[in-house]
Amino acid sequence: MPDTKKFIENLSGAGKCIGVLTSGGDAQGMNAAVRAVVRMGIYVGAKVYFIHEGYQGMVDGGDNIKEASWESVSSMLQVGGTVIGSARCKDFRTHEGRLHAALNLVQRGITNLCVIGGDGSLTGANLFREEWSGLLDELVQSGEISEEASQIHSALHIVGMVGSIDNDFCGTDMTIGTDSALHRIIEVVDAIMTTAQSHQRTFVLEVMGRHCGYLALVSALACGADWVLIPEMPPKDGWEEQMCYKLSENRADKKRLNIIIVAEGAIDQSNKPITTELIKDLVVRCLGFDTRVTILGHVQRGGTPSAFDRILASRMGVEAVLALLEASPGTPACVVSLCGNQAVRVPLMECVQMTQEVQKAMDEKRFEEAVRLRGRSFENNLNTYKLLSHRKIDSELPHKFQIQTQANVHPISAASLIFFFSCFLSQIKEIKWGDVGGWTGQGGSLLGTKRTLPAKHIDKIAEQMRIHNINALLVIGGFEAYLGLMELQAARSKHAELCVPMVMVPATVSNNIPGSDLSIGADTALNAITDTCDRIKQSASGTKRRVFIIETMGGYCGYLATVGGLAAGADAAYIYEEPFDIRELQSNVEHLTEKMKTSIQRGLVLRYDLDILHRNCSENYTTDFIYQLYNEEGKGVFDCRKNVLGHMQQGGAPSPFDRNFGTKIAAKAMQWISKKLKEFYREGRVFANTEDSACLLGMRRRALVFQPVVQLKDETDFVHRIPKEQWWLRLRPLMKILAKYKTSYDVSDSGQLEHIVRLRAKDISAI
């Protein structure tokens, strides 16, 4: 077969001009997207222009449209909001305004637009594209451009990236800014919980989401809220009594606080608003609880972008440039979106139309259809919340997470579900519903954990399982848990007590478990790395010309170093999976030397560079060796410092992503256990001895998949405790390109335009 691989070296942007603008409401991560568009565009030889103040700047022209340089985006990555400005433009809604905008673009040769905004901004961009040829004809007739210019600039190409903290755009799992907004919300909720517990108070929190309840729903899952109200699923008649009953029931279980989260667009079945004051008055009147209201407002839009949003925006920005390079006059405008952990392109207007259909369904009180139209991510979040809040999922609503009522599942962190395998099961205790209240926001493992493998204690384990009548095992952990599950399954031939359904949920900051692209804890560690790098860069702002060598965790897995480097704007990341030698180190030093000289000439205030070092990347090239090499070779140009982040990457409260991912994957694992208990119940006992009764539940590209652990052996490098193939290695060229290194980048997976209906049908089993 012929080689169908496609590389970035074969794509050229020479002679092309790209304009990038941010429009509508601002969102954290927009700057990371702008940075990626600028640097990728320049990397392929195109000219890139900032269009300041959104469409207003395009209409007004002049200094609002400026050519961008590589260095002009060097301090953007960690800044919230949008540095190039955003404005809601009435002029662009008029034909005359769009005519002015077309003239300003043609005068600069811009025929490629990257628009970062919401559905309104993207709809406007598509209208502009459809009118483009007519607008040029008018400009020719008025004598403002020549016929030749009209021919040269005859086609306008549009690629969109969705920047919206509400996550209200159909066709993508996450929009730029949503994860950061969840960080702000959870930070507030965690802080409120301490004062609420002190005074036994009820807090009613209003979060953004005038038309979409995603922020309210996911934050409720992430903090274990008692009640949540969202516009897509209004509560049924009599909800007031049900809510008050649940609040009083929780207080009776000695819970000292209640949290109610309300989306600002929450409504009842009659489309009447449900406000925070209404809920407060209801709780005070019916229960007499001390109740306070907190409205988060624009706090949710502020602050630095999370690691997730920086990575998402960087990947989307690079993909947007690739889409523009590959566009032809007949190519429809597309949106670069996220499906699972895959970047895909979806027709812009399909996404816009489905987004508008959601609002239409809500206006017509077709709420179940509105939930379905929101997409798989929203639908599964809602069903998981209903399940874990002990509310019955309506039989007519499409869902994926039904579970038997005897399975006591609670919205909890990765180390808290029902039962945990540790050492030889010498400490076993039944866990009830109320025992795990508040565990969601706790870091570490409240049940405790050990690295001891079961093989040496297999007889005692079997005995304890018999004594306590254990009929299933849920194992939560890292590579030791993976090895332990294999040992338990291998021992089934000698111990019938081990013939029970077993499932593992991957939880390790290293993200090195075969069979899963993501592990619980990795996102929290990435945020710890990113936050530390931001502080280190800030500390260097007054010093200038300084290089930091930062050592991360990860064993032999370079995930944290690579993805942390992409999120922090690193210049290099040294890892075990990608061998390097002294020549590459010397090349990196020379690269930094030239970079520092250029920066001084440009008079930049900040001049810092980060080298993320993975601690087991080489036996000889240690952190100290690389530090000394950089220090010696950089004399007279830059000085060097080193930092070892250590166990701070494992500490702290879990990120919203990890709380939500841990909750949903654990709920799915319990659904599997419930199903297997029925399947393997024979003659008064459970007996499971098939390969598929001992599985690892992992994220594979776009879906959560149960995989027999014995089938994962061939995918495992047991010596180095890593998978033989790791998806994130494909992100390494992005980091190098954005740091101005020439590199090879396989873009074979790019260029596939997926239709939104097919995309959802294919991913029916995903999270």
The set of residues, in sequence order, having a beta carbon less than 8 Å from that of 11 and lying 6+ positions away, is 44, 322, 325, 326, 747
SS (H, E, C) 658-706: HHHHHHHHHHHHHHHHHHHHHHCEECCEECCCCHHHEEEEEEECCEEEE
| 281 among known catalytic residues | no
The set of residues, in sequence order, having a beta carbon less than 8 Å from that of 506 and lying 6+ positions away, is 477, 478, 481, 482, 513, 515, 516, 518, 519, 520, 696, 697, 698
Structure tokens at 415: 């180390």
Q: What is d(CA 553, CA 719) in angstroms, rounded to the nearest whole number? A: 18
Pairing of strands 227-229, 334-339: unpaired
| Long-range contacts of the stretch 134-143 (C-beta < 8 A, 24+) | 135/98, 135/99, 135/102, 136/102, 136/106, 138/99, 139/99, 139/102, 139/103, 139/106
Tokens 């005359």 locate to 96
Q: What is d(CA 719, CA 67) in angstroms, rounded to the nearest whole number? A: 51
- Cα 342 vs. chain centroid, distance in angstroms? 11
List 26, 60, 119, 166, catalytic entry: 166
> Residue 77 gets which letter from DSSP?
T
3-class secondary structure, 262: strand
Residue 336: beta bridge partners? Answer: 161, 345
Please check whether residue 152 is in contact with residue 271, taking contact to mean a CB–CB distance below 8 angstroms.
Answer: no
Pairing of strands 685-686, 681-682: antiparallel
Q: What is d(CA 690, CA 592) in angstroms, rounded to the nearest whole number? A: 56
Tokens 């790098």 locate to 533
Query: Please, is 37 exposed, middle or buried when counting C-beta atoms within 10 Å of its C-beta (0-12, 13-18, 19+)?
Result: buried
Of 167, 19, 35, 172, nearest to 106 by C-alpha is 19
Structure tokens at 59: 């209409």
Query: How do the residues of the chain divide into helix, strand and coil, expressed in percent and rounded to 5?
Result: 45, 15, 40
Q: What is d(CA 482, CA 710) in angstroms, rounded to the nearest whole number? A: 10
Sign of the alpha-carbon dihedral angle for 139, 143, 145, 149: positive
Structure tokens at 23: 């429009």
The sheet with strand 473-477 has its strands ordered as: 473-477, 502-506, 694-700, 703-708
Of 657, 338, 411, 645, nearest to 522 by C-alpha is 657
Please check whether residue 350 is in contact with residue 162, taking contact to mean a CB–CB distance below 8 angstroms.
Answer: no
Please identify every residue annotated as catalytic. Answer: 166
